[in-house]
Amino acid sequence: MIYLDNAATTRLDDEVAEAMAPYLKEYYGNPQSQHAAGRETANALLSARDKTAHIMGCSAEEVYFTSGGTESGNTAVKGVCAARGKGHLVISAIEHPSVLESAEFMRKFGFEITYVNPDKQGIVGVQSIEKAVKDNTVFCAVMAANNETGVIQPVEEIGKFCRGRGIFYYCDCVQTAGVLPLPTQFCDGLGISAHKFYGPKCSGAMYIRRGSKIEGLISGGMQERGFRGGTVNTAAVVGLSAALEKAYANADKTNKKVAELRDRFLNRVLFEIEGTHLNGDFALRVPSNANISFDGCDGENILFLLDLKGVAVSTGSACSAGAVAPSRVITAMGYGAERAKSAVRFTFGKYNSESEVDRAFEILKEAVEKIRAVKS
Ligand code: PLP
């Protein structure tokens, strides 16, 4: 299989798997236990928390292990709302559903929401955030980079603005962790997810700035300093910290390789297949992402034909009730349904090779020609 869906998830790195293995079998004590078996895993957690904090650029007490990006987004939105009781939320229209749907959930409890659209390049400008903010705004969410387009957002400016207004700023860093520096100093909360940087699934971490007004969501245990009850998955946390450490240690090399693969593919698509358009800013994007619309095609049809030939990609379209809805991210950027429905996301990773990229291009070209021939 040629796997070009690395924004959805990545293959577990062998070294990370090795680091985790002892905590799946040998060291199985509950880190809360008062005996030696418990102390062993508690020490592993301590060390993983220290490593994670060091990379995040915060103190160990500001790191909370979670099950991933979805839980972190839920915790940020609902936790701040629970602590504040009432108010207004400013949410970028291109956030992950974990943030968007949490905000909608809080509407039921009287919270008001303003959604902020990006521009045609996929960027949510600080000025549009400033315009959306009201006297009673308590929370703002703008992600570090969008999961569909890979477009990098001006989080430093947004964070500084929110800090000046006393607004809790949550930055979903799921698509940039291990790739770009984490904007910890500019936000009040951020979330990362290990399976996006060659770590295990269902393993995430959240930074929450000391002194923030936020409630935890999961009651019933003193784990994570009483903020998130439930026995911590030691192996998953060890895996997260090992994957994070390795990703940042090799980031320059990996980013260069991945961007070269992506550009090799993207240039061929844009120059050799007519009627193709890159979605989102050309330069301000994570190295892995090429989101391309194909005139006269449905992204879903391209996905199916590529899948038949062993190439894995994704679209931003959502299937509901048997119909395919166009990508809401590309629609929010101001494009029509046709462009949004014809978008396909190709995301490259460190395990891809040039020959895979070239083969995927040939398969894609054939698929697009086939779809267009049927339609004409
Ligand atoms: N946020 C973003 C930007 C994502 O891309 C994803 C996953 O695709 C998530 C959150 C959810 O992360 P997880 O799969 O760890 O719940």
The DSSP-derived string for 336-358 is: -HHHHHTEEEEE--TT--HHHHH
- pLDDT reported for residue 131: 98
Of the listed ranges 37-46, 73-82, 314-323, the one predicted with least confidence: 314-323
* Token duo for residue 340: 């949004």
Helix (H, G, I), strand (E, B) or coil at 204: strand
Distances (CA, A) of 203 to 233, 235, 360: 8, 9, 31
Residue 321 Cα to ligand 1 midpoint, Å, equals 23
Same domain, 294 and 271: yes
Same domain, 45 and 93: yes
Apex CA 122: angle with CA 131 and CA 80, to 5°?
A: 55
Same domain, 179 and 318: no
- Of 235, 183, 232, 244, which is closest to residue 209 (Cα–Cα)? 183
- pLDDT reported for residue 317: 64
* Domain containing residue 331: CATH number: 3.90.1150.10
Residues 229-251 have pLDDT tens digits of 999 999 999 999 999 999 999 99
pTM above 0.75, yes or no: yes
| Domain count of the fold of the chain | 2
Residue 373 predicted with pLDDT over 60: yes
Same domain, 186 and 163: yes
Same domain, 338 and 224: no
Residues 88-130 have pLDDT tens digits of 999 999 999 999 999 999 999 999 999 999 999 999 999 999 9
Same domain, 190 and 327: no
Residues 3-31 have pLDDT tens digits of 999 999 999 999 999 999 999 999 999 99
- Range of the structural domain that residue 309 is part of: 2-10+250-375
Residues 148-205 have pLDDT tens digits of 999 999 999 999 999 999 999 999 999 999 999 999 999 999 999 999 999 999 999 9
Examine the fold and report which residue of 249, 276, 310 is the final residue of a domain before the chain moves on. Answer: 249
Examine the fold and report which residue of 249, 277, 306 is the final residue of a domain before the chain moves on. Answer: 249
Same domain, 337 and 370: yes
Residue 323 predicted with pLDDT over 80: no
Same domain, 143 and 211: yes
Distances (CA, A) of 210 to 57, 207, 213, 297, 312: 13, 9, 9, 49, 41
Instruction: Please spell the DSSP secondary structure of 99-147, one letter per residue.
Output: HHHHHHHHHTTT-EEEEE---TTS---HHHHHHH--TTEEEEE--SB-T
Residues 277-296 have pLDDT tens digits of 999 999 999 999 999 999 99
Q: Whose CA is nearest to atom 9 of ligand 1?
A: 69
CA 194 to chain centre: 10
**In this prediction, what percent of the chain has a pLDDT beyond 70?**
98
Q: Whose CA is nearest to atom 11 of ligand 1?
A: 69
Residue 272 Cα to ligand 1 midpoint, Å, equals 33
* Domain containing residue 37: CATH number: 3.40.640.10
* Token duo for residue 300: 């879903």
Residue 343 predicted with pLDDT over 90: yes
Examine the fold and report which residue of 249, 266, 299 is the final residue of a domain before the chain moves on. Answer: 249
Q: Is 175 in the pocket of ligand 1 (CB under 6 A)?
A: yes
The answer to whether 31 and 234 are in contact (CB under 8 A) is: yes
The residue type of 323 is: A
Same domain, 186 and 168: yes
- pLDDT reported for residue 321: 56
Q: Note if 162 is an active site residue.
A: no
Using 50, 70 and 90 to split pLDDT, how confident is the model at 324?
confident
Same domain, 236 and 255: no
Distances (CA, A) of 319 to 55, 150, 323: 38, 22, 6
φ, ψ (nearest 5 deg) of residue 212: -70, 150
Residue 318 predicted with pLDDT over 70: no
Q: Is 174 in the pocket of ligand 1 (CB under 6 A)?
A: yes
Q: What mean pLDDT is reported for the chain?
A: 97
